[in-house]
Amino acid sequence: MLKTHFLGAAFAGALAIGLSASPVLAAESEEPIKLTLHDWTGQLITTNIMGEVLKKAGYNIDYVQADYIAQFAGLKTGDLHVAMEIWETTGREAMDEATATGNVENLGETGMQAIEEWWFPAYMKDVCPGLPNWEALNDCAEDFSTPETAPSGRYLGGPVTWGGFDDERAEALDLDFEVVHAGTDAALFAELESAYQRQAPILLWVYAPHWAPVKFAGEWIEFPKYEAACYEDPSWGVNPDMAYDCGKPRGPIWKVAWSGVKDKWPGAHDAITKFKISNEDMGAMVAAVDLEGKDLDAVVAEWMNNNEATWKAWIE
Amino acid sequence: MWLLRAISPSGWFWIGAFGISLFLAEHAKSWSRAHDMRWLMDTPRAIRFPIKDDISDFMDWLVNSATFGLFTFTQFTRAISWLIEQPYLLVKSMLVTGWVQGFGDNAVQLLPPFSWIAVIVTVFAMGYYARNLWLGLFVAACFLYLAIFGQWESAMVTLSSILIAVPIGVAGGLLLGVLAYRWRWFNMAISPVLDLMQTVPIFAYLVPILFLFGFGPVAALLATIIYAMPPMVRITTLALKSVPEEIREFGLMAGCTNRQMTWKVLVPAANRSLMVGVNQVIMLSLNMVIIASMIGAGGLGYDVLTSLRRLDIGGGLEAGVAIVVLAIALDRLSQAFADRNPPDHSALPASPVRRHPWITTCLLVALGTGIAGLFLPALQTYPRELWITTGNFWSKLVEYINVNFFDQIEAVKTFMLVTFLVPVKRFLLGLPWPWVIALLTYAGWQLGRWRLALLVLLMSLFILVNDLWDKAMVTVYLVGVSVVIASLIGIPIGIWSAQHKRADRVVAAIIDTLQTLPSFVYLIPVVMLFRVGDFSAMIAVVLYALAPAIRYASHGIKTVDPQLIEAGVVSGCTRRQLLWRIRLPLALPEIMLGINQTIMLAISMLVITALVGTRELGQEVYIALTKADTGRGIVAGLSIAFIAIIADRMIAAGATRARKRLGLEAAR
């Protein structure tokens, strides 16, 4: 036991000497910064890029697996430190609740824009030439129907927890479609995969950045463009009596952190705030991992090589 | 005419009640609307007392302000979680990470973890020691699968959490069981708590656990322990009660104190039954692997989840089978230890090395491969180049079925929906709640007099006043339909396999796999072939809940008293008569218990079916989890538990009555 302690002290000493060359770390904690990992590839890439960049700046990094929403419990208490992807569209409520306590801090946008909308595969244009205009949907409702919903069309919405007001949208725009909710996004994309294999009709909720719009050819339905007034003011838009007669808002993806990060690792706090990446870059990387089967670490390393100037600016 | 006379008065009552129900289901809704009596169909505003906000507030208070004076409640729970974390980190260092100094990239490995060869040799030795060479080889082969299919590291993470959760669960269960055996009042107090621990879905209490015990493996471990401990408590109490009177008297004569009596006489005497409890704890812990990985346990469960997110069916299946393999290996090992004859201590060699040849061998192998691994890494970690994978074979298979047989599948599905599922759903949702509660309470009174009646009444009122009635009815519909189908498939298989030895073995292997294979693995193919909807959810439930229907039916048939069958043969029964007139009626109580277990498993699957997309209480729990709403989750979780408890108590009471009628109870 004594021996390991001694060894440990020696290593720690060596570490301190080696690292004191890096000015950033001089006054900051050597404790690892805990970044959370979730279960979708885009988030793993974002987090790994951030982690690798922070490592280059001399910080110690731990990756921790955590549930997307449940992680806020840990961020509030400081058990977890940084979450790299909170989507405006799905995480807003939990994020607002957490930042309101003062223990969690919003570190700004990641640069990626979340797109969520009704989506159809390209081959459906042959069946229903009016697409992607939403007004064509009612003419083709029967083409999109299944035995359970016929003669109405079937629209597969996201999990109830995602919100999105699809039931309201179908009613407000007087669409002859039945809204069915999938329980998870795995179920959602399983149906898309199945339909695509058979070239069968399907209309569903797809979001980006994600591998699905990269893998499958298709388009978003063009609804009347979203404005805040559309959701709040019934008189706005084609239906004078109801709100939600428009498409879905597109929103940023946010970064959040435990509010203690600022004092404990000010340099890292700064770097995370500066982190920016585009939808295109992310889409390409997600496709490389999920569709071409490349190793995630290799994809991240490649991005690091090609964008050295970008990430060096974050840690200056 | 004889048929009409054969029906008892209470039988007539239920036939009448069913007729009225059919009528009500058809007309109550429109009638209540026409007469402005909507309160018949939905919880009236006046009796809504939702307690979910109170629970959430209480939780906030517990986390933020509760204090014992010297320290706060949260500090107390955090201290517990620190205590549990220490042994976990130790085991994890041994199996996965090795001993590391420093953090992140600057970390230096002081000592590697046990090499894969060392672990396999160790489990082989345990198998050999516990039973024989074959078991040793079998267990070693199981672990070799993990290495060859590239699941080693994840499997060892999972194994570390099992190695911590199981001893804590067993020790805690043993302690509570002993207390319940000693004091009747403690037994009475803990029994309903155990019921809830087993029936409230884990998702319902994940959020409070995260708040109190912090984020990470410890919270996952605790959730696992809560779920896996109840059978150990029950089996301990039962095992202690069934220790033969002679042994107890012997202890008294030898002048044992109370403590000596418990720990030196009763517990060792009940050893064999206690091992059954240990086995249960292991299996239930492995059932929790997936859910635990959602809150930071990592390991195999996490691999299953990520593969499915990519729709990588093969990857999910390989990781899922790794869980099955691990479960089977641990199950066989623990059973072998349970059956092992007590060792003969008389002729042991003196030297510790020779006295423990296996421990010495294992240590030597561990040390040897550890040192050799420094020069030849393949000895330390199984080389990546030699990994095997089924690749996209499974995805291709599902695609083939999907493209070529979808229309036939769709036709079967539509037929089932139209003729069975939809009518049942409409029937249940059409019934006014006062009628349902009245019937349930009367049934409770008939089966178990006022105690059961009161229990049923209070529990159904709880669901009602929390405004979950509709969701509860959808739950009952989904569970009911699935249980009927699972029983229709499972009971005949069970009866058939009980009479054919070879079939029995194959069936047993299949149901073992179905029960330990995480349902997530087959969720994706099911959705691909049957679309999102009640039907997919039903298939997932049936697959999982089939096992007890088969197992109990088979067990019931096998344990029919052979003398009675002989009597049947002597009096000239044909095979068919033997089955229908003797075997089946006598196995009926056992079959009913099987149905009871099927219902319990079906209910425990609800949270999973919520992931397909159903709208019942499971969905409510899941929504509460994703919104971190403690109160909402617990109320919905309790409602599920109450449905389970009502079903359980009624069937148990029914089975007891059946047994009494057959004269089996008196024989016991």
DSSP A160-196: GGG---HHHHHHHTT--EEEEE-SSHHHHHHHHHHHH
Cβ contact B215–A32 (<8 Å): no
Q: Which residue has the higher pLDDT, B271 or B103?
A: B271
The sign of the torsion formed by the CA atoms of A128, A129, A130, A132 equals positive
Among A34, A37, A39, which would you mutate to test the B interface (most chain B Cβ atoms within 10 Å of its Cβ)? A39
d(CA B440, CA B458): 11
Asked if B306 reaches chain A (Cβ–Cβ under 8 Å), the answer is yes
Q: Are A213 and A117 in contact (CB under 8 A)?
A: no
Q: Are A186 and B524 in contact (CB under 8 A)?
A: yes
Cβ contact A198–B403 (<8 Å): yes
Q: Are B217 and B298 in contact (CB under 8 A)?
A: yes
Asked if B438 reaches chain A (Cβ–Cβ under 8 Å), the answer is no
- The fold adopted by the segment(s) B402-667 is MetI-like fold (1.10.3720)
**CATH code, A264:** 3.40.190.10
Cβ contact B532–A39 (<8 Å): no
Residue finishing a domain among A203, A232, A261:
A232
pLDDT above 70: percentage of residues in chain A: 91
pLDDT of B220 above 90: no
| Peptide bond before residue A151 is cis, with ω within 30 degrees of 0 | yes
Question: What would the DSSP string read from start to end of chain A?
Answer: -HHHHHHHHHHHHHHHHHHHTSGGGGGS--SPEEEEE-SSHHHHHHHHHHHHHHHHTT--EEEEE--TTTHHHHHHHTSS-EEEEEEHHHHHHHHHHHHHTTSEEEEEEEEEEEEEEEEEETTHHHH-TTTTBGGGTTTTGGGG--TTTTTSEEEEE--GGG---HHHHHHHTT--EEEEE-SSHHHHHHHHHHHHHHT----EEEEESSSHHHHS-EEE-BPSPP-HHHHH-TTSSS-TT-S--S----EEEEEEEETTHHHH-HHHHHHHHH----HHHHHHHHHHHHTS---HHHHHHHHHHHTHHHHHHHT-
Residues of A in contact with B212 (CB under 8 A): none
Average pLDDT over residues B613-635: 82
Burial class (CB in 10 A: 0-12, 13-18, 19+), B244: exposed
Residues A273 and A187 reside in one and the same domain: no
Q: Quick check: is A1 in a domain?
A: no
To the nearest whole angstrom, how far is the Cα of B606 from the nearest Cα of chain A? 12
d(CA B639, CA B134): 47
Residue A21 has which token pair? 């060359």
**For residue range A201-247, what is the model confidence (pLDDT) as tens digits?**
999 999 888 888 888 889 999 998 888 888 888 888 888 888 888 88
pLDDT above 90: percentage of residues in chain B: 7
The per-residue pLDDT for B89 is: 86
Cβ contact B613–A180 (<8 Å): yes
Residue finishing a domain among A177, A199, A232:
A232
pLDDT of B553 above 80: yes
pTM of the model: 0.81
The per-residue pLDDT for B657 is: 79
Residue A289 has which token pair? 């991992």
d(CA B38, CA B235): 48
Residues A291 and A225 reside in one and the same domain: no
Cβ contact A184–B625 (<8 Å): no
d(CA B664, CA B661): 8
Q: Are B114 and B370 in contact (CB under 8 A)?
A: yes
Residues A94 and A134 reside in one and the same domain: no
Residues A123 and A224 reside in one and the same domain: yes
pLDDT of B581 above 70: yes
Q: Quick check: is A246 in a domain?
A: no
Q: Quick check: is A18 in a domain?
A: no
The per-residue pLDDT for B627 is: 73
Q: Which residue has the higher pLDDT, B272 or A45?
A: A45
Pairing of strands A61-65, A33-37: parallel
* Nearest alpha carbon to residue B139 among B150, B149, B125: B125
Q: How far is CA B445 from CA B436, B448, B454, in A?
A: 14, 5, 8
The per-residue pLDDT for B355 is: 65
Average pLDDT over residues A106-132: 89
Residues A299 and A204 reside in one and the same domain: no
H/E element holding B71?
A: none
To the nearest whole angstrom, how far is the Cα of B291 from the nearest Cα of chain A? 11
Domain count, chain A: 2
**Band of residue B191 on the pLDDT scale cut at 50, 70, 90:** confident
Could you tell me where in chain B the CATH 1.10.3720.10 domains are found?
Answer: 73-99+109-113+149-342, 402-667
Burial class (CB in 10 A: 0-12, 13-18, 19+), B470: middle
Cβ contact A183–B295 (<8 Å): no
DSSP designation for B264: I
**Band of residue B139 on the pLDDT scale cut at 50, 70, 90:** very high
**For residue range B57-97, what is the model confidence (pLDDT) as tens digits?**
888 788 777 777 777 788 888 888 888 888 888 888 888 87
Among B78, B109, B309, which would you mutate to test the A interface (most chain A Cβ atoms within 10 Å of its Cβ)? B309
Asked if B56 reaches chain A (Cβ–Cβ under 8 Å), the answer is no
d(CA A29, CA A32): 8
Among A residues 215-254, those touching chain B with beta carbons less than 8 Å apart: none
Among A36, A40, A193, A296, which would you mutate to test the B interface (most chain B Cβ atoms within 10 Å of its Cβ)? A193
Q: Quick check: is A68 in a domain?
A: yes
pLDDT of A11 above 50: no
The per-residue pLDDT for B115 is: 83
Cβ contact B102–A15 (<8 Å): yes
* Nearest alpha carbon to residue A84 among A267, A275, A233, A292: A275
The per-residue pLDDT for A302 is: 93
Q: Quick check: is A83 in a domain?
A: yes
pLDDT of B280 above 90: no
Cα distance between the two ends of chain B:
37
Candidates 3.10.180.10, 1.10.357.10, 1.10.3720.10, 3.40.50.720; CATH matching B73-99+109-113+149-342 = 1.10.3720.10
The per-residue pLDDT for A45 is: 92
Q: Per DSSP, what are the bridge partners of residue A254? A: A86, A109
Residues A107 and A127 reside in one and the same domain: no
DSSP designation for B23: H
Asked if B116 reaches chain A (Cβ–Cβ under 8 Å), the answer is no
The per-residue pLDDT for A19 is: 42
pLDDT of A290 above 50: yes
pLDDT of A261 above 70: yes
**CATH code, A200:** 3.40.190.100
Cβ contact B104–A55 (<8 Å): yes
Show Cβ contacts of residue B337 under 8 Å, excluding neighbours closer than 6 positions.
Answer: B130, B275
Could you give the angle at which helices B271-287 and B501-516 cross, rounded to 10 degrees? 50
A 10 A CB-CB count for B444 gives 24
pLDDT of A249 above 90: no
**Band of residue A166 on the pLDDT scale cut at 50, 70, 90:** confident
Residues A87 and A134 reside in one and the same domain: no
- What are the contacts of B368-376 at 24+ separation with CB within 8 A? B369/B115, B369/B117, B369/B118, B370/B111, B370/B112, B370/B114, B370/B115, B370/B118, B373/B112, B373/B115, B374/B112
Q: Quick check: is A8 in a domain?
A: no
The per-residue pLDDT for B489 is: 92
Residue B581 has which token pair? 């007139």
Output b/e per residue, B561-576; b: 16+ Cβ within 10 A. eeeeeeebeeeebeee
**For residue range B477-493, what is the model confidence (pLDDT) as tens digits?**
999 999 999 999 999 99
Residues A104 and A148 reside in one and the same domain: no
pLDDT of B295 above 80: no
**For residue range A59-86, what is the model confidence (pLDDT) as tens digits?**
888 888 777 877 887 888 888 899 999 9
| Peptide bond before residue A132 is cis, with ω within 30 degrees of 0 | yes
As a whole number, the mean pLDDT across chain B is 82
Question: What would the DSSP string read from start to end of B425-455?
Answer: HHHHHHS-HHHHHHHHHHHHHHHHHHHHHHH
Q: Per DSSP, what are the bridge partners of residue B109? A: B100
The per-residue pLDDT for A47 is: 94
- Residue-number span of the structural domain to which A58 is assigned: 27-111+252-314
The per-residue pLDDT for A258 is: 93
**Chain B residue nearest residue A37, CA to CA:** B296
Q: How far is CA B522 from CA B24, B324, B395, B506, in A?
A: 39, 14, 12, 20
Q: Quick check: is A242 in a domain?
A: no
Show Cβ contacts of residue B406 under 8 Å, excluding neighbours closer than 6 positions.
Answer: A198, A200, B529
Q: Which residue has the higher pLDDT, B86 or B628?
A: B86
Among A residues 114-153, those touching chain B with beta carbons less than 8 Å apart: 146-148
Residue B87 has which token pair? 């042994």
